[in-house]
Amino acid sequence: MPNNEPSYDFIREIVANDLKTGKHKFIRTRFPPEPNGYLHIGHAKSICLNFGITSQFNGQCNLRFDDTNPSKEEVEYVESIKEDVRWLGFDWGDREYYASDYFDRLYEFAINLIKKGKAYVCSLSAEKIREYRGTLTEPGKDSPYRERSVEENLDLFLRMKAGEFQDGEHVLRAKIDMASSNINMRDPTLYRIKHVPHHRTGNKWCIYPMYDFTHCLSDAIETITHSICTLEFENNRPLYDWVLDTLETECHPQQIEFARLNLNYTVLSKRRLIQLVEEGHVTGWDDPRMPTISGIRRRGYTPESIRNFCDRIGVAKRDSIVDMELLEFSIREDLNRSAHRFMAVLDPLKVVIVNYPEGQVEELEAINNPEDESMGKRMVPFSREIFIERDDFREDPPKKFFRLYPGGEVRLRYAYYITCREVIRDKNTGEIVELRCTYDPETRGGWSKDKRKVKGTIHWVSKAHSVPAQVRLYDRLFTVPNPLDKKDGKDFKDYLNSTSLEVLTHCRVEPDLKKLRPGSNCQFERQGYFCVDMKDSEADLPVFNRTVTLRDSWAKIEKKAKK
């Protein structure tokens, strides 16, 4: 049976079915980041999933900060997270929640659990608790404090909250089963003492709830219908259900796990990213080489391209490593149809057109975006002395090289055909410093009446009219597809790409490029997509970040020839 319907991923299938059977009339999800670092492209997958599903099925997605560990969390992170989610194009309305807003209710739930005889205060040290927990193959042992009376537990827990104890003296534990084959069920810790001020609740609390206790109850409080998380929480699902079942909450969301995103040539874990930042391997969370949302944004990626990327990678349960090229495809696709084209010479080589009248300047018409006529045209100044890309000239051209070489003719985009007549070198170094060329006045605009074949077209800028610019060429952060694949004791940082950033300081670009606003995208013809750096660009010296190169089939041919 041919089926032309676009297929849902397994989560959307569940949601659609719940709607169809009437299990739910309204879908509510949540995106629950812990504010202990910046969001990365892996979070984008989760954001697109959670917000995407609810917009598709007319539901709502809450933004909830899972802020139960004050020793790792900071307001800087909550601000950046909000900015990133918004930038990606999603709106949580007024539903900005914090697990810490539920601390009072969570505390009541804990009291309730104690009263039901389902939780107890354990006074074993952390090390002892670990010992008593058993191992993967051996069952654990009951804590000697497991049978404390409800009254004693209530009293102790109250005093924990009141600050009568030091960190680590007691914890509140669920009373489940120390012999469970699921280690998460061996009387997991629910509350710990931490005399640490919280970024939102200040000094109000010195006991903080653990994830397993907080998350399910926060979901229930917010009447979440589908609690979507990553695979590693699969083992926690029985505990998620146990807490809600035992407390008999009115709402019992369904936890569903999917495989987190992995991308080759980079790392996607906050722990490692924070390491790169703190140890100075990158300039910050928003370094354009970082896979963080802020890094990608500064690199020049568009929200649209990220969303398309997330659609393309799909949602499933199997661990996978997505090819970076898919991300690059997504941004090329978006920028190809939207980016304004310009000419920019990254590594300038001076060309004097000897038969062009000295002092003459022409304004030549150039198309702003061949994919979008509505973006119009612009005038580009042309004169006797211009710059071309050093790499577009070869004294000894390889096969199939159809750019400029001695005696060869090439088209200057939107300008004229020129022929190279003479190569000028530096007397001392031998370096080529200038090319003497002649132009054909009959080819204005780049056309010839005699239909003579000129296969190559190169970009250029007028020496006198172009403006200087700095260009930053970014490459992948790591040299190997999987930096975590630690053979012979190597650390992921051993695979850092030492040439992931190349700064070009002598570039010359079209004068109009000076007018671009920070953050704007554009294409440097024949080279790639670039954006004006949001932090370092200045009116006198614009700074451009290379978002991604254009596909380059010449580079492939050359590479093949070398082999």
Partner RNA sequence: UGGGGCGUCGUCAAGCGGUAAGACACAGGAUUUUGGUUCCUGCAUUCGGAGGUUCGAAUCCUCCCGCCCCAGCCA
Stretch that binds RNA, among 41-49, 293-301, 353-361, 364-372 (CB under 7 A): 364-372
Told to check if 413 binds RNA by CB under 7 A, we report: yes
Told to check if 544 binds RNA by CB under 7 A, we report: no
Residue with tokens 């042992």: 141
Told to check if 7 binds RNA by CB under 7 A, we report: yes
- Give the residue with the Cβ less far from RNA, 173 or 289: 173
Which residue in the set 30, 45, 175, 192 belongs to the binding site for RNA (CB under 7 A)? 192
Pairing relationship of beta strands 432-439 and 417-425 according to DSSP bridges: antiparallel
Told to check if 539 binds RNA by CB under 7 A, we report: no
Q: Which residues inside 193-212 make contact with RNA, applying CB under 7 A?
A: 193-194, 208, 210-212
Cα(311)–Cα(53) distance, integer angstroms: 12
Q: Where are the alpha helices (DSSP H) in 480-563?
A: 553-562
**φ and ψ at residue 376, rounded to 5 degrees:** 75, -160
Stretch that binds RNA, among 283-291, 409-417, 464-472, 514-522 (CB under 7 A): 409-417
Beta carbon of residue 50, minimum distance to RNA (angstroms, whole number): 15
Beta carbon of residue 283, minimum distance to RNA (angstroms, whole number): 26
Cα(121)–Cα(170) distance, integer angstroms: 6
> Cα torsion at 157, 163, 165, 166 (round to 10°)?
130
DSSP-assigned letter for residue 148: -
**Marked catalytic residue, from 260, 317, 378, 493:** 260
Beta carbon of residue 11, minimum distance to RNA (angstroms, whole number): 9
34 is catalytic: yes
Length in residues, the chain? 563
Beta carbon of residue 538, minimum distance to RNA (angstroms, whole number): 27
Beta carbon of residue 390, minimum distance to RNA (angstroms, whole number): 14
- How far apart, in Å, do the first and last CA atoms of the chain sit? 49
271 is catalytic: no
List b or e across 513-533, with b for residues whose CB sees 16 or more CB atoms inside 10 angstroms.
beebeeebbbbbbbbbbbbbb
Beta carbon of residue 407, minimum distance to RNA (angstroms, whole number): 16
Told to check if 54 binds RNA by CB under 7 A, we report: no
Counting Cβ atoms within 10 Å, is residue 201 exposed (0-12), middle (13-18) or buried (19+)?
A: middle
Q: SS3 helix, strand, coil % of the chain, rounded to 5? A: 30, 25, 45
Cα(236)–Cα(374) distance, integer angstroms: 54
Size of the site for RNA (CB under 7 A): 92
Beta carbon of residue 503, minimum distance to RNA (angstroms, whole number): 23
Told to check if 124 binds RNA by CB under 7 A, we report: yes
Name residue 469's beta-bridge partners: 507
Which residue in the set 233, 460, 530, 544 belongs to the binding site for RNA (CB under 7 A)? 233
Which residue in the set 17, 149, 320, 355 belongs to the binding site for RNA (CB under 7 A)? 320
Which residue in the set 76, 91, 164, 371 belongs to the binding site for RNA (CB under 7 A)? 371
Stretch that binds RNA, among 66-74, 110-118, 145-153, 531-539 (CB under 7 A): 66-74
Which residue in the set 15, 34, 244, 409 belongs to the binding site for RNA (CB under 7 A)? 34
Which residue in the set 54, 60, 68, 305 belongs to the binding site for RNA (CB under 7 A)? 68
Which residue in the set 75, 150, 231, 361 belongs to the binding site for RNA (CB under 7 A)? 231
Beta carbon of residue 127, minimum distance to RNA (angstroms, whole number): 8
Q: Which residues inside 427-446 make contact with RNA, applying CB under 7 A?
A: 445-446
270 is catalytic: yes
Told to check if 86 binds RNA by CB under 7 A, we report: no
**Marked catalytic residue, from 270, 299, 307, 413:** 270
Cα(154)–Cα(110) distance, integer angstroms: 10
Q: Which residues contact 42 (CB under 8 A, 6 or more apart)?
A: 260, 261, 262, 263, 268, 291
> Cα torsion at 268, 273, 276, 280 (round to 10°)?
140
Q: Which residues contact 60 (CB under 8 A, 6 or more apart)?
A: 26, 27, 28, 29, 54, 93, 95
Counting Cβ atoms within 10 Å, is residue 18 exposed (0-12), middle (13-18) or buried (19+)?
A: middle
The DSSP code sequence of 450-483 is T------EE-EEETTT-EEEEEEEE--SBSSS-T
Stretch that binds RNA, among 55-63, 74-82, 307-315, 494-502 (CB under 7 A): 307-315
Whether residue 461 contacts residue 510, with contact meaning beta carbons closer than 8 Å, is answered with: yes
Told to check if 379 binds RNA by CB under 7 A, we report: no
Beta carbon of residue 136, minimum distance to RNA (angstroms, whole number): 4
Which residue in the set 150, 162, 321, 541 belongs to the binding site for RNA (CB under 7 A)? 321
Which residue in the set 16, 259, 432, 480 belongs to the binding site for RNA (CB under 7 A)? 259
Told to check if 143 binds RNA by CB under 7 A, we report: no
- Give the residue with the Cβ less far from RNA, 501 or 546: 546
Known catalytic residues?
34, 260, 270
